[in-house]
Every structure is written in C-alpha cells, then in structure tokens.
C-alpha cells in the first residue's frame, strides 16, 4: 500500500468537511460567543465614529484663526459623552479625548502646545493645521461596510469590534459535538492503580483539551476495550454527535476492533500517511457520523490531530481559514538522510533558530512539552544548519 501524501490527505479531509451540511446557527450574547464561528458577515449599521471627535485633550479651534502666539478666549468645555454647541468665531473650546468636535471647529491643538493665561484665555505656541488631532466621522467604518466576515472565530478582538458597533448578539454556528474514544485494553484512567501491562490514558486528555480549545462540545466515550462485542455496544449508544474521534486501534494490529465494527456497520478508509510521526490514520462513517481514527502513540495522536483533524474540524465548524499560522525559521541542526515521510520535528526556538529536541520517538510526549512547536521537514528532503523550514508554533496549532 503506497503512502498517502499529507497534502493529498488534507485535501480529501477538507473536501469532505466542506461537503458536509452547515451547522445550524444561533444567536448568542457577546459574553457567550467567545470562540464561536460567525455565521454571517457583520455589517456596520452606522458610521463609526458617528461624528468627528478629538484624539487629544486640548483645544478645538478654527485652524485658520490660529497663528503662532495667538490668544483666544475659551467659549465652552466639551467632555466625552456630551454634545457641544457650535464654536463661536474668535474663540476656542476646551475639549477632551473622544469628545465630539463642535460645529465650525476643524482642528484640535493638544494642551501641551498651549498655555492657559491668568485671565482664562489660551495662548497657542504655533499655528494649527486643519484636521490636526481630529478623528473624522467614519474613520473606522462607513454604513454597510463588512466589519467582520462570516467564517471567522470570535476572539476578544472580534467580540470587542461587534460591541463597538452596538451588537448585543451575534449569529454563530452551534457548537460542534465530538465523541472522543480511547481504544486499548492496556489503558487505565489516571487516579486508578496500574496493573502489570497497563498504561495511563493520555490521549483522552490530549484530544479533549485540544477540542475544547477549538470550541467543541465533548461526549467522552471513555475507554473502549479491545473487544468486538463491547465495541459494538458502545458505538450503538452514541447519538447526537457531529464526529467521532478515536485514538489507537487503527494500525494493522489484530486488536483493531473499532475498525472492524466500522467496516461491518459503516465505512472505513485506512490510510498509511507519508507522515512522521503518525503513519496510520482512518477516516470512516458510522450511522452517518464521520469517524476519524488517529494512531495511538501519544505524539502521533498529537501530530495527526493538529495537522489533519484540526483543519477538518474547523472547516466543519464553518471556519473559512482552518490552517494554523506558520512561518519559516532557520534551523540549527542537520538532517542528512532524507526520509520518504514528511516529518514534523519537535523543536524549541532559541534566538529565532529551531533546535531539535533529542527524543523524537512517537511514543514520547515529554519532548513535546519541551518544544515550542513542530518543524516541517518535507519528504525526500535533507536539511543543514542555516536552512529555512516551516515552523508551526503550538501557540497557533493549539488555538
Ligand atoms: P495502537 O495504535 O492502538 O496500536 O497503539 C499504539 C501505541 O499507543 C501503543 O503503545 C499504545 O499503548 C499507545 N496508546 C494507545 N492509546 C493510547 C492512549 N489513549 N494513551 C496513551 N497511549 C496510548
Ligand atoms: Mg491499541
């Protein structure tokens, strides 16, 4: 069986995700909408700001009236949140940051360039050019402008943008629901004693926490023992999810019961990916629900989740740009022997250069905790010190 290229695998996943039905929408308050996906563009309903206003504490003037050394009486004080009178000719108005410009005024001089005289008049140190320190009406947006596009994830900045436009609620996609399954007779949940041959289940925590960061709702299906009947029973209980995500039991081992049930009662595609770590990967369907099966080794689970499952899930969620941010960095190590699989190497960034963590075994999670992200070494490629390679920071992959 030929190895499947990572780009080809991603393309299949993204096509399937795009072809799946859109999630329903709901209206949520801004405080509840963090990390949700905007379902329709948000359009400006009015000019923002709605009126020209001052960007400084100072004096609003008619700029043509102000030469160096000019003295003007103060005809009014304008605080933020208050509506001014038109500016009387031959006067200035005390004004504070964010306060509306009075009609007739076309500039603001900051108070540092002025002097308040004993009689309450103000002397200007220099001439003032028109529009100085004035934030024009509509500087941020004009009515009808698209201020947020559909298909973005709402973070603090986007929600603040919606708030600034007066939106109390936003139309978002409903939460994506994922059932998380850990397979393997050897698995025990933390807190329980370990019998000989057993290990603690770390993929459950890994995948649930990654999914939570994407804003998914989780149905924890716990540990599926390597037993055909128990696997059938457990899967039959499942309903109301958009995706089943399993780890382990997808290689070609004998105890691949999840795969067997999917083959019998649904569909199953088994891929050998040209990816290291993370060669085995399955894509299936059970009672109409898509199933993604990740390999069991902890770092294989991590890498296949981040590189393949994450963009698939974000696309299903309605996100239009599902790939994490990445950039190229110089590497501080050599990989003199080219591999046939694309490798995602655990690296830390030291002064902007990628250093390889010593232990790159797929069964080892500890080196991932010590790294800042994954460095992508393309298949059939070597690298030398100073070469530039693509770096995927965990801070964006886990976001
Ligand atoms: P498998 O893909 O089931 O053949 O598992 C590959 C390796 O990953 C084995 O060493 C398993 O013990 C280990 N493994 C599988 N599932 C988990 C899990 N949920 N947590 C930690 N290790 C796991
Ligand atoms: Mg197993």
Choice from 296, 299, 362 to test ligand 1 binding pocket (greatest atom count within 8 A of CB): 296
As a residue count, the chain comes to 399
- Tokens 């001089």 belong to residue: 109
Q: What phi, psi does 250 have (nearest 5°)?
A: -115, 0
Domains within the chain, CATH numbers bracketed: 6-24+174-317 (3.40.980.10), 30-47+140-173 (3.90.105.10), 53-135 (2.170.190.11), 327-397 (2.40.340.10)
Say what the pLDDT of residue 390 is: 98
Q: Counting Cβ atoms within 10 Å, is residue 171 exposed (0-12), middle (13-18) or buried (19+)?
A: middle
Residue pointed to by tokens 């981040």? 306
Scanning the structure block, which residue is given the tokens 């694309």? 342
Give the C-alpha distances (Å, rounded to integers) separating 365 from 23, 32, 175, 371: 34, 34, 29, 10
Q: Whose CA is nearest to atom 17 of ligand 1?
A: 296
Cβ atoms of 133 and 111 closer than 8 Å: no
When computed from its CA atoms, the radius of gyration of the chain, rounded to whole angstroms, is: 30
Residue owning the nearest CA to atom 14 of ligand 1 = 296
C-alpha–C-alpha distance, residues 312 and 13, integer Å: 6
Task: Looking at the CA of residue 249, tell me the nearest atom of ligand 1.
Answer: 3
Tens of pLDDT along the chain (399 residues)? 799 999 999 999 999 999 999 999 999 999 999 999 999 999 999 999 999 999 999 999 999 999 999 999 999 999 999 999 999 999 999 999 999 999 999 999 999 999 999 999 999 999 999 999 999 999 999 999 999 999 999 999 999 999 999 999 999 999 999 999 999 999 999 999 999 999 999 999 999 999 999 999 999 999 999 999 999 999 988 899 999 999 997 765 566 788 888 888 888 888 999 999 999 999 999 999 999 999 999 999 999 999 999 999 999 999 999 999 999 999 999 999 999 999 999 999 999 999 999 999 999 999 999 999 999 999 999 999 999 999 999 999 999
Atom of ligand 1 nearest to the CA of 300: 8
CA atoms within 13 Å, Cβ hemisphere of 184: 25
pLDDT in tens, 355-370: 999 999 999 999 999 9
Q: Which token pair is 66? A: 């102000």
Matching residue, tokens 């080794």: 297
Residues with CB under 6 A from ligand 1: 182, 184, 186-187, 199, 201-204, 247-251, 253, 295-298, 363
């Amino acid at each position: 069986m030929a190895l499947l290229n990572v780009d080809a695998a991603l393309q299949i996943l993204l096509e399937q995700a795009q072809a799946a039905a859109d999630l329903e929408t709901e209206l949520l308050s801004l405080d509840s909408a963090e990390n949700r996906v905007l379902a329709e563009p948000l359009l400006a309903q009015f000019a923002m700001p709605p009126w020209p206003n001052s960007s400084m504490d100072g004096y609003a003037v008619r700029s043509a009236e102000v030469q160096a050394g000019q003295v003007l009486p103060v005809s009014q004080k304008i605080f933020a949140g208050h509506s001014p009178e038109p500016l009387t000719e031959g006067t200035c108005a005390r004004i504070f940051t964010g306060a509306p410009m009075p009609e007739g005024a076309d500039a603001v001089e900051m108070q540092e360039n002025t002097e308040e005289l004993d009689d309450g008049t103000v002397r200007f140190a220099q001439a003032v050019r028109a529009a100085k320190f004035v934030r024009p009406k509509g500087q941020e947006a004009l009515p009808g402008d698209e201020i947020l596009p559909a298909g973005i994830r709402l973070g603090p900045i986007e929600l603040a943008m919606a708030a600034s436009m007066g939106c109390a609620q936003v139309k978002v996609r409903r939460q994506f629901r994922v059932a998380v399954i850990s397979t393997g007779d050897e698995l025990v949940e933390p807190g329980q004693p370990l019998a000989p041959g057993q290990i603690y289940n770390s993929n459950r925590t890994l995948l649930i926490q990654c999914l939570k960061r994407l804003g998914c709702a989780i149905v924890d299906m716990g540990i599926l023992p390597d037993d055909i009947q128990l696997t059938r029973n457990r899967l039959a209980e499942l309903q109301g999810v958009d995706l089943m995500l399993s780890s382990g039991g997808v290689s070609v081992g004998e105890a691949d019961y999840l795969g067997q049930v999917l083959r019998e009662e649904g569909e199953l595609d088994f891929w050998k990916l040209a990816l290291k770590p993370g060669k085995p990967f399955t894509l299936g369907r059970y009672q109409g629900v898509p199933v993604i099966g990740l390999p069991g080794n902890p770092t294989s689970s991590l890498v296949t989740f981040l590189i393949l499952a994450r963009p698939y899930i974000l696309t299903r969620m309605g996100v239009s740009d599902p790939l994490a941010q990445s950039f190229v960095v110089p590497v501080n190590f050599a990989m003199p022997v080219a591999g046939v699989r694309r490798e995602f190497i655990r690296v830390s960034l030291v002064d902007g250069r990628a250093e390889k963590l010593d232990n790159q075994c797929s069964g080892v999670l500890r080196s991932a905790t010590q790294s800042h992200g994954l460095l992508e070494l393309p298949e059939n490629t070597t690298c030398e010190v100073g070469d530039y390679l693509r770096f995927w920071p965990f801070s964006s992959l886990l976001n």
